C-alpha cells in the first residue's frame, strides 16, 4: 500500500543555517504519527518542508506515491494536505463560520460535520475568530484544515498553550479522526498526548531522528526520554 507521506533523507536550510540533517520518516494510510523533541530541533521545519514553504536542498518527499519535493505549496495543498500551523493563524476579523467556509474545498467535510466534531464551534458560529479562547481557536484551526478535505493532516504543536481539559478534548477529536481513517502527522511536545494517540513515534534532536518506534517502545526507552525529551 502506498504511504500517505514518505520523507527520504531530507536536508533543509534556513539561509546558511543547516536545520534538517537527513530526516526520513513515513506515515502509512490511516496512521497517526507523532514527531517529538525539544524546541529548536527542526520539528516545525519538517512540517514546512512537507508543505513546500521551505523546500529541502536534498532528499525527496512523496505524497501517496507522487513526488512533491519542489512543488509549490499551493499545489501540495491541492493534493490533499491540510495544515494546522503553530499559533493557529485563523482570520481574527471573520466569524467562525466564515473561517470555515472560506477554506471549503472538495467533498466530504462540511460545516455540519465540523460542528459535530467540535460542538463548541456551532455555539460560537457567529463570533469573530479573534474573540475565541485559545482552545476554541485550535478547534477552529483544525476544522478549517478539515474543510479542505485532506487525505493527510499536518498538526504543528496542537496542544501548545491549552489547559489540561482542552488537551483531553483535542485528544478525543483526534481519536475520532483516526477512526475515520485520516492520516495524520503531528509535531508535539506533550509526551502523554503523543503516546496516547500515535501509532508510531519519531524523536528528533539537532535536525536528525534519534529514535523511532512504537509508543510502547518509547515508554520503555527511559534514556531516550530523559536525554531528548527531558522526561
59-96 pLDDT tens trace: 999 999 999 999 999 999 999 999 998 877 888 889 99
The predicted structure's pLDDT at residue 231: 74
Closest by CA position to 84, among listed 10, 12, 150, 8: 150
Q: How confident is the model at residue 105 (pLDDT cuts 50, 70, 90)?
A: confident
- Structural domains in the chain, sorted by start: 1-78+183-231 (3.40.50.300)
State how far the Cα of 180 lies from the Cα of 94, in Å rounded to an integer.
29
**Using CB atoms within 10 A of its CB, is residue 66 exposed (0-12), middle (13-18) or buried (19+)?**
exposed
Q: What mean pLDDT comes out for the span 130-152?
A: 91
Give the angle 122-124-128 at the CA atoms, nearest 5°. 135
DSSP conformation letters of 165-207: HHHHHHHHHHHHHHHTT-EEEEEES-HHHHHHH-SEEEEEETT
Give the chain's radius of gyration (CA, Å): 17
142-184 pLDDT tens trace: 999 999 999 999 999 999 888 888 889 889 999 999 999 999 9
Q: Count the helices and strands in the chain (H runs, E runs).
A: 10, 10
State how far the Cα of 147 lies from the Cα of 18, in Å rounded to an integer.
35
Distance of CA 60 to the CA centre of its chain: 19
Closest by CA position to 167, among listed 150, 183, 155: 155
Amino acid at each position: 500500500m502506498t504511504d500517505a507521506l514518505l520523507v527520504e533523507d531530507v536536508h533543509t536550510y534556513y539561509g546558511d543555517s543547516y536545520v534538517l540533517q537527513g530526516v526520513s520518516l513515513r506515515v502509512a494510510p490511516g496512521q497517526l504519527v507523532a514527531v517529538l523533541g525539544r524546541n529548536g530541533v527542526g520539528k516545525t521545519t519538517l512540517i514546512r518542508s512537507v508543505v513546500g514553504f521551505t523546500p529541502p536542498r536534498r532528499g525527496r518527499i512523496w505524497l501517496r506515491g507522487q513526488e512533491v519535493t519542489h512543488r509549490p505549496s499551493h499545489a501540495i495543498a491541492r493534493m490533499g494536505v491540510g495544515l494546522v500551523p503553530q499559533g493557529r493563524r485563523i482570520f481574527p476579523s471573520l466569524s467562525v463560520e466564515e473561517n470555515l467556509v472560506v477554506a471549503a474545498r472538495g467533498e466530504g467535510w462540511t460545516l455540519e460535520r465540523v460542528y459535530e466534531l467540535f460542538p463548541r464551534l456551532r455555539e460560537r458560529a457567529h463570533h469573530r475568530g479573534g474573540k475565541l479562547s485559545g482552545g476554541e481557536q485550535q478547534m477552529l484551526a483544525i476544522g478549517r484544515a478539515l474543510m479542505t478535505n485532506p487525505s493527510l493532516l499536518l498538526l504543528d504543536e496542537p496542544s501548545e498553550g491549552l489547559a489540561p481539559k482542552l488537551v483531553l478534548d483535542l485528544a478525543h477529536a483526534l481519536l475520532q479522526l483516526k477512526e475515520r481513517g485520516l492520516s495524520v502527522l503531528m509535531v508535539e511536545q506533550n509526551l502523554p498526548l503523543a503516546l496516547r494517540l500515535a501509532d508510531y513515534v519519531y524523536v528528533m534532536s539537532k535536525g536528525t531522528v534519534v529514535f523511532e518506534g512504537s509508543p510502547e517502545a518509547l515508554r520503555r526507552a527511559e534514556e531516550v526520554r530523559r536525554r531528548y525529551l527531558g522526561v
